[in-house]
Amino acid sequence: MDSLYFEKACRSLRRRDVVMRKAIKLVGPCTIQLDRNGFRMLIRSIVGQQLSTSAARTIWRRFLELNGGRRVSAGKVLSFSTAELRGIGLSAAKCRAVLSIAKNIVDGEVRLAALKQFTDEQVTIELMKLRGVGPWTAQIYLMFSMGRPDVFPTGDLGIANAVTALYKFNKHATENEMLEVAESWRPYRTIACWYLWQALDIVREGEW
């Protein structure tokens, strides 16, 4: 993904969807930033599970402080005690997941670099073998570490809220309704989702 790719994606989204056209106009250029450190992205995704954006950001900042910087390694994470991880705000389940994933990486049971050769579905299947990793975590990994362009996490509350609000559903949009709305976004659903997250903030601020 680069600026030329984002421009191409935005042209397609604007042409096919009037709501997306408005979102792109209000939000501005796409500035998705990928984290190519797969382990760090995976741990950050675990941290952010079922949390608001602000809460996830706070706990992740605490994690980096505990870690001593942004250079996150499986070996370093394994040196943390459960008490230390609980102390920064992780639940008991997330502590177990983080430590288990780190051990899998250290033991060589999982090789994240090898996932580059896999399809989105195959990556999801492989990642879900790890403790604490479900479809949402795998999809976030695909989007923001691997840079896969056509991922649509229907289980993300922010995405569901954005689709419901922007596309004027009377009730909370169902998964099937979300998939139907997103069909015209292919093969750029990752970029569309980024705009949905940004647009939801605009809606909440009353500026839509």
Of 117, 144, 171, the residue at which a domain comes to its end is: 144
| pLDDT tens per residue, range 97-126 | 999 999 999 999 989 999 999 999 999 999
| pLDDT tens per residue, range 29-63 | 999 999 989 999 999 999 988 888 889 999 999 99
- Supply the range of the domain harboring residue 46: 38-144
pTM listed for this prediction:
0.90
- Is the confidence at residue 185, as pLDDT, over 80? yes
**Same-domain pairing of 56 and 28:** no
**Same-domain pairing of 48 and 17:** no
**Same-domain pairing of 19 and 104:** no
CATH of the domain at 97: 1.10.340.30
Q: How many domains does the chain have?
A: 2
pLDDT band at 70 (very low <50, low <70, confident <90, very high): very high
> Which SS3 state, helix, strand or coil, does residue 116 take?
helix
Q: Are 131 and 43 in contact (CB under 8 A)?
A: no
CATH of the domain at 23: 1.10.1670.40
Of 144, 169, 195, the residue at which a domain comes to its end is: 144
As separate numbers, helices (DSSP H) first and strands (DSSP E) second, the chain gives 12, 0
Measure the CA–CA gap between 12 and 149, rounded to whole angstroms.
13
